[in-house]
Amino acid sequence: MVARASTSSCASRRTAARRVFALVAAAAATCGPAAADPGTPRLVPIAAAPGAAVPTGVVPPTAAGDPPLVRIGAAAVPPAASAPRAVAAAMPAPRTLRALPVEPVVPPPVASGMMQAPVMLRSLPIEPVMPAAVAARSAAPIAAPAPVTLRSLPVADVAPPRQQLATVSLAPPEAPRPLAPLPTAQSEHALPPRPPAMPDAIASLPPPRQAAPVPTVPLPPLPAVPSVSSSAALASPPSVAAVPAVPPVASPRMMPPPVVPAPLPPAPVAAAAAPPTPIAPPQMAAQPLAPSPSLQPPALQPPPVAPQSPSPQQVAGPGPTRSADPSTAPPEQPRAAGPGKPADAIVIGSFNIQVFGESKLAKQPVVDVLARVVRGFDVVAIQEVRAKSDNVIPQFVAAVNADGSRYQYVVGPRLGRTVSKEQYAFIYDTTRIEIDPGSVGTMPEPADRLHRPPLHARFRVRANPPESGFSFWLVDTHTDPDEVKQEVDALADVFVAMRSLRPDEDDVILLGDFNASPAQFGKIRSIPGIGWAVSNATTNTRRTKTYDNLVFVPAATAEYTGRWGVLDLQQTFGLSLDKALEVSDHNPVWAAFRPWEAPRVPLTAQAPAADTPAR
Amino acid sequence: MSDAAALDPAALARQLASASVDERVAAAERLSQAGEEAAVAAVPLARACGDDDERVRELAVAALEDMGPPPADAVGPLGDLVDHRDPLVAYWAATLLGRAGEEAAAAVTALTACVASSADMSVRQRAAWALGRIGPAATRARGTLETARSGADQRLARLAAEALDAIGG
């Protein structure tokens, strides 16, 4: 069916993709309203009977000519979710992790001039506790979804009634349109008080950016429709004129899938007992990277700003982290340890789970390892989902949530030039991260250089106030190993296009399996100010290649803490090489970012070029 | 996780032809974990892309993606597979020949015919790419590549142009 799509349909999709890309480029600067396109891939808001389980995954075409759909996963919709703006009732219950003593592992000798001490801590079990101050804390309302263009389409395999499907604009905007009014605490859209996303120890800190207050813009309007098509965008030509304009309306259905609050165990110890962890100001913003002619990233150069040593609280978390074995780790990757869930940062990961399909899902020990990996990240980009079934990611996320976690997911369409297709996915912790549902899509490329066009989505850290949370694009990619050079160059174009997609979003993180080391990043390296997290470290399970990375502009993404790592499956889980390879031929990679949105840095203030890893 | 069988790519290659689906799945899975060592099984893996069982096909593709160039003695059999009725088999045969570079000069005729007449566009594209990887030894493919360069398929045209540049002359 989908996996056996005909060549001609593939060709038509690619033709459409080119058109989309061209339109995106044309519209990038303004991002105005979009006309709906009947062929545009569309997001399916999950709607179901109250309390009923909701099917998730990619929906096959419902009729001839219909593009594939992308669903945003939801474990269940609570009764309150059926009412407009009742998402509040479904917000995750407060959950705060109590930091337990962490045994520091003796790090390897730090090279002189290291920017930051390696994060080489072994995580211990974390007991979830109820924060003492949760009840008294008043959370600002979650931003109401920005107006999205909606249209009703019949969805054959989604429970009736007909769904309101979000479409995204493919037409260049005529002029900037005013932002949708933001909900206030008194508005009907206001959510009930919500505990802070960050543990008490962090939430109780003084505002992290008092010296440079942000955001000046009231809110990154989540609903502002990106002018790139959504997931199925690559499927059909953007026949904008064919769809009547629909007045933008705010749709509560487009909010992130609500999560049924789960009762938390009583707090034996007040979380506030943990000493406050100082949050460093976003120093990277004022620190343009100096261009370097060398291909050797100066990863070990002295930092321009004194690093902040992580406290035990910062690295405590439920993740499967363990320090790298200094005897086996490459000498220049002292930070190659798993992240856990830092209290002062969110951890973004990327993981190529080789041939992630029913066969792998049937191996419980493998699933256990994968689930533990995912729980160590706040949001993780997955590559190589290969299955005819749409149940692989839903079942896997259920396994991740088996311990009480509240992860959700987004799965992209099946992609590939042959009948052998792959899907991308994002899996994110809804207690710390929210997704902009209207932002999910696949970014095609006009010259058809990308075997599997990247999947993008915009996320934001749940913070108090909400608009202060770090928001960012993730662009998930997996290059064709036989056409790396062309694909890497195409990804550079995608990156630039994504940075221009929304004027209110300057944080773009391109992550995934590049099948290339930073030295082979080609045109990506020419992007002004570009950097990458993983440097001088191997990322495949056999420890022979550097294929996986997170690429961004550090001066713009000033939220980057400088902490990154490769989660070595063998070391972390005590596996033999053979058993680690049963999990994947890639190790996960990650980087940590501060949870608050940093002041935006004008592009002109960035270094013209950087030949360095992100610092 | 059960202990993985000892890696013996030659034995696993034979196992890929087993009548038992489970045996074939096990062999393909083990080879998908073998990295470059799976290269000795290049031809059986390419054939396995046409297996009736989807798991075998996907695992074979995974093995092929990571294995690098095939051994020199695989060029002949791979050349025979580029016109295989299953496009996925033909696609991977062409891919492996391209990875072999000039070592695959003996397969130029087969690849050229593939560019000219394969019913599957992805196979034609990959065959054009492979001819470019073979380089000057693929000179006799110039005419076909020039035709493809001016064809309607943009990707094939680009790959043909790149191949012509690589072939030179």
d(CA A358, CA A387): 7
B14 touching A (Cβ < 8 Å): no
DSSP letters, chain B, are: -PPPPP--HHHHHHHTT-S-HHHHHHHHHHHHTSGGGGGGGHHHHHHHTT-SSHHHHHHHHHHHHHS-SPPGGGHHHHHHHTT-SSHHHHHHHHHHHHHHGGGGGGGHHHHHHHHHH-S-HHHHHHHHHHHHHHGGGGGGGHHHHHHHHTSS-HHHHHHHHHHHHHH--
- Residue B81 sits in the same domain as residue B161: yes
* Number of neighbours of residue A572 by Cβ within 10 angstroms: 26
The whole-number average pLDDT for the span B82-86 is 96
Between strands A42-44 and A69-71, the pairing is parallel
d(CA A129, CA A143): 27
Model pLDDT for residues B3-13, shown as the tens digit of each residue = 444 568 889 99
Q: What 3-state DSSP class applies to A90?
A: helix
- Residue B93 sits in the same domain as residue B146: yes
Between strands A471-478 and A127-129, the pairing is unpaired
The reply to whether B2 falls in a domain is: no
Cβ contacts of A575 on chain B, cutoff 8 Å: 1
Closest C-alpha among B69, B53, B143 to residue A357: B53
Closest C-alpha among A480, A460, A456, A419 to residue A597: A460
* Strand (E) or helix (H) holding A150: strand A149-153
Q: Give me the sheet containing A560-566, strands edge to edge.
A: A407-411, A423-429, A379-385, A346-356, A589-593, A560-566
The reply to whether B59 falls in a domain is: yes
What are the beta bridge partners of residue A469? A596
* Strand (E) or helix (H) holding A497: helix A484-499
Interface mutation target, options A10, A414, A420, chain B, most CBs of B under 10 Å:
A420
- Residue B102 sits in the same domain as residue B152: yes
A445 touching B (Cβ < 8 Å): no
Residue A480: exposure state from Cβ atoms within 10 A (0-12, 13-18, ≥19) = middle
d(CA A62, CA A157): 7
- Residue B62 sits in the same domain as residue B80: no
- Residue B96 sits in the same domain as residue B154: yes
A386 touching B (Cβ < 8 Å): yes
Count CA within 13 A, CB hemisphere, residue B92: 31
d(CA A494, CA A497): 5
Which of residues A122 and B22 earns the better pLDDT score? Answer: B22
d(CA A605, CA A586): 36
* Chain-chain contact of A418 with B87 (C-beta, under 8 angstroms): yes
Closest C-alpha among A386, A2, A418 to residue B126: A418
For residue B50, the enclosing domain spans 9-68
d(CA B149, CA B158): 7
- Residue B64 sits in the same domain as residue B94: no
Q: Are A70 and A232 in contact (CB under 8 A)?
A: yes
- Residue B141 sits in the same domain as residue B100: yes
- Residue B94 sits in the same domain as residue B162: yes
A2 touching B (Cβ < 8 Å): no
Amino acid at A216: T
DSSP letters, A111-134, are: PTT-SS----EE----EEE--TTT
- Mark out the alpha helices in A555-598 (DSSP H runs): 569-573, 577-583
* Chain-chain contact of B59 with A585 (C-beta, under 8 angstroms): no
In which residue are the tokens 């002041």 written? A599
Interface mutation target, options B12, B33, B95, chain A, most CBs of A under 10 Å:
B33
Q: What 3-state DSSP class applies to A81?
A: helix
Looking at residue A612, what DSSP letter applies?
A: S
Q: Are B167 and B139 in contact (CB under 8 A)?
A: yes
What's A296-326 look like in SS3? CCCCCCCCCCCCCCCCHHHHCCCCCCCCCCC
d(CA A295, CA A41): 40
Cβ contacts of A573 on chain B, cutoff 8 Å: none
In which residue are the tokens 């929906």 written? A59
Count CA within 13 A, CB hemisphere, residue A565: 31
Residue B116 is predicted with a pLDDT of: 97
d(CA A87, CA A94): 15
d(CA A394, CA A597): 30
CA distances from B59 to B26, B28, B32 (A): 9, 5, 6
Which chain B residue's Cα is nearest to A9? B121
In A472-511, the residues whose Cβ lies within 8 Å of chain B are 481-483
The reply to whether B83 falls in a domain is: yes
* Domain locations in chain A as residue ranges: 315-605
* Chain-chain contact of A354 with B91 (C-beta, under 8 angstroms): no
Interface mutation target, options B24, B58, B96, B154, chain A, most CBs of A under 10 Å:
B58
Residue A319 is predicted with a pLDDT of: 34
d(CA A255, CA A237): 27
* Chain-chain contact of B33 with A7 (C-beta, under 8 angstroms): no
Report chain A (615 residues): mean pLDDT per 10 consecutive residues: 37 43 36 32 30 33 37 36 31 35 36 32 33 34 35 31 29 32 29 32 32 32 32 27 29 30 28 28 26 25 27 28 31 37 90 95 97 97 95 98 97 95 97 94 89 97 93 98 96 95 93 97 96 96 96 96 96 96 97 92 49 56
Q: Which of A7, A354, A365 sits opposite B62 (nearest CB)?
A: A354
B135 pLDDT higher than 90: yes
Our count of domains for chain B comes to: 2
CA Rg, chain A, in Å? 22
The reply to whether B90 falls in a domain is: yes
- Residue B168 sits in the same domain as residue B101: yes
Residue A614 is predicted with a pLDDT of: 63
* CATH code, B49: 1.25.10.10
Q: Out of B51, B68, B85, pick the residue that ends a domain.
A: B68
d(CA A208, CA A280): 7
Token pair listed for A603? 């592009």
A22-41: string of b/e by CB count within 10 Å (b at 16+)?
ebbbebbebbbbbbbbbbbb
How many percent of chain B have pLDDT more than 90?
93
* Chain-chain contact of B87 with A419 (C-beta, under 8 angstroms): yes
Amino acid at A111: A
For residue B66, the distance in angstroms to the closest alpha carbon of chain A comes to 8
Q: Tabulate helix, strand, coil % of chain A (nearest 5).
A: 20, 20, 60
Residue A437 is predicted with a pLDDT of: 86
* Strand (E) or helix (H) holding A17: helix A7-27
Q: Whole-angstrom distance between the N-terminal and C-terminal Cα of chain A?
A: 45
Cβ contacts of B28 on chain A, cutoff 8 Å: none
Q: Are A561 and A279 in contact (CB under 8 A)?
A: no
The reply to whether B136 falls in a domain is: yes
For residue B19, the distance in angstroms to the closest alpha carbon of chain A comes to 19
Q: Which of A354, A418, A582 sits opposite B4 (nearest CB)?
A: A582
- Residue B46 sits in the same domain as residue B89: no
Q: CATH says A315-605 is which class? A: alpha beta
- Computed over every residue of chain B, the mean pLDDT equals 94
The greatest distance separating any two alpha carbons of chain B, rounded to the nearest whole angstrom, comes to 55
Q: Are A338 and A123 in contact (CB under 8 A)?
A: yes
* Chain-chain contact of B1 with A388 (C-beta, under 8 angstroms): no
The reply to whether B41 falls in a domain is: yes
* Number of neighbours of residue A48 by Cβ within 10 angstroms: 16
d(CA A345, CA A347): 6
d(CA A62, CA A56): 15
Taking the complete model, does pTM exceed 0.80, yes or no?
Answer: no
Q: Out of B68, B93, B111, pick the residue that ends a domain.
A: B68
Amino acid at B133: R
- Residue B121 sits in the same domain as residue B64: no
A157 touching B (Cβ < 8 Å): no
The reply to whether B163 falls in a domain is: yes
B99 touching A (Cβ < 8 Å): yes
Residue B6 is predicted with a pLDDT of: 55
- Residue B31 sits in the same domain as residue B84: no
